């Protein structure tokens, strides 16, 4: 009996100290296998995402929407799908799209959205009349504060060097208050929080957007008084895509990036939950064995 207990205890300890590379293999399989299978998954829209969708859906034609691409390659898998979906939606609503970036890396990703979504799917959208790419400017919250007061003091040209005053859709844009909606795709600092603090609240301009899943819980206090809606992570992107397909059935057969992530996400969550439960089971087993050994030791 004592030998079995020693053997079982060492098995528990062995499992507790298992090489972490084995865990890595499980995680990798949980992510890769669903991707290879090619399944997608619909996501029911949560109220905070639906609120943002409804706001955009109710925007009148020619509404001015400022889209700030404040993320980089590190967070692109989460945020690029929501950027694509929101740009699609705004273009369906025939809004005027003003694209800029407070992150340097956001500028390149703006180009990807234009090339992959706007140009092929909305060929009637003319540059300078329906959409404009203003590019990146340094300054973080200082930039946003200045744009609230004098937009053209910072943006004297667009990203390609065209004079801002020669772009038709920039005609009546003097500051951020001239926009009907500010959408921030935030990968960190500066992001949605800075747009709320330095533009939305002082300028009374509606602010919404999408952010990484890490940032999403931190932004809930701003909803709904300071933030009209929020897409949190890849799930938020998938929810928005679902809402878009429901409202615009022509997208039903289109492969949406956010939805294609969700099966891998689901399986990975299951694996992580299993590891947490298994790790705790081993921990409590080990602890009870230690207590039992301690009692036996005291008696002898």
Confirm or reject binding of residue 23 to another protein (CB under 8 A): yes
Closest CA to 98 of 159, 186, 188, 166: 159
Closest CB to another protein among 26 and 94?
Answer: 26
**Of 2-10, 62-70, 241-249, 261-269, which segment contacts another protein by CB under 8 A?**
261-269
Q: Which of residues 56-85 bind another protein (CB under 8 A)?
A: 72-78
**Of 50-58, 59-67, 270-278, 290-298, which segment contacts another protein by CB under 8 A?**
270-278
Closest CB to another protein among 59 and 151?
Answer: 151
Strand pairing class (181-186; 131-136): unpaired
**Of 1-9, 87-95, 178-186, 230-238, which segment contacts another protein by CB under 8 A?**
230-238
Confirm or reject binding of residue 247 to another protein (CB under 8 A): no
* Backbone angles phi and psi of 114, in degrees to 5: -65, -45
Q: Which of residues 194-213 bind another protein (CB under 8 A)?
A: 196-198, 201-202, 212-213
* Six token digits for residue 153: 């003091």
- Cross-strand pairs, 283: none
**Least distance to another protein, CB of residue 29, Å:** 11
Kind and range of the H or E run holding 67: strand 64-70
Total residues contacting another protein (rule CB under 8 A)? Answer: 94
Q: Which of residues 89-128 bind another protein (CB under 8 A)?
A: 104-105, 107-108, 111, 115
Confirm or reject binding of residue 29 to another protein (CB under 8 A): no
Binding residue (CB under 8 A) for another protein from 8, 156, 174, 290: 156
Length in residues, the chain? 300
Confirm or reject binding of residue 280 to another protein (CB under 8 A): yes
- How far apart are the C-alpha atoms of 78 and 27, rounded to whole Å? 18
Confirm or reject binding of residue 243 to another protein (CB under 8 A): no
Confirm or reject binding of residue 216 to another protein (CB under 8 A): yes
Binding residue (CB under 8 A) for another protein from 233, 240, 251, 259: 233
Contact string (CB under 8 A) for another protein, positions 177-196, x = contact: -------------------x
Please check whether residue 83 is in contact with residue 234, taking contact to mean a CB–CB distance below 8 angstroms.
no
Peptide bond preceding 217 in cis form (omega within 30 of 0): no
- How far apart are the C-alpha atoms of 217 and 52, rounded to whole Å? 16
Contacts by 193-201, CB closer than 8 A, 24 or more apart: 193/218, 193/219, 193/222, 194/102, 194/140, 194/141, 194/144, 195/68, 195/144, 196/222, 196/226, 196/227, 197/141, 198/141, 198/144, 198/145, 198/148, 199/144, 199/147, 199/148, 200/226, 200/227, 201/226
Contact string (CB under 8 A) for another protein, positions 125-154, x = contact: --------x-xxxxxxxxx-xx--xx--xx
């Amino acid at each position: 009996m004592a030998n079995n207990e020693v053997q079982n205890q060492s098995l528990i300890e062995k499992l507790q100290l298992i090489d972490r590379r084995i865990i890595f293999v499980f995680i990798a399989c949980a992510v890769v296998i669903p991707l290879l299978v090619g399944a997608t998954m619909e996501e029911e829209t949560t109220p905070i995402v639906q609120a943002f969708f409804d706001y955009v859906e109710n925007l009148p034609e020619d509404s001015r929407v400022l889209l700030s691409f404040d993320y980089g390659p590190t967070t692109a898998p989460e945020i690029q799908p929501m950027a694509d979906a929101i740009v699609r939606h705004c273009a369906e609503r025939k809004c005027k799209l003003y694209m800029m970036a407070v992150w340097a890396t956001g500028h390149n990703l703006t180009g990807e959205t234009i090339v992959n979504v706007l140009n092929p799917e909305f060929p009637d959208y003319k540059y300078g009349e329906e959409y404009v790419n203003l590019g990146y400017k340094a300054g973080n919250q200082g930039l946003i504060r200045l744009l609230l007061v004098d937009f053209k003091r910072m943006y004297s040209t667009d990203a390609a060097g065209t004079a801002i005053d020669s772009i038709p859709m920039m005609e009546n844009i003097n500051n951020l208050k001239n926009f009907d909606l500010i959408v921030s795709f935030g990968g960190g600092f500066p992001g949605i929080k800075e747009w709320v603090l330095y533009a939305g609240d002082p300028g009374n301009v509606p602010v919404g957007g999408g952010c990484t899943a890490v940032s999403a819980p931190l932004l809930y206090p701003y909803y709904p008084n300071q933030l009209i809606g929020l897409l949190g992570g890849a799930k938020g992107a998938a929810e928005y895509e679902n809402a878009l397909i429901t409202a615009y059935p022509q997208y039903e057969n289109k492969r949406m990036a956010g939805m294609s992530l969700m099966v891998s996400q689901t399986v990975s969550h299951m694996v992580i939950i299993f590891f947490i439960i298994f790790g705790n089971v081993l921990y409590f087993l080990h602890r009870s064995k230690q207590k039992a050994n301690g009692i036996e030791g005291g008696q002898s």
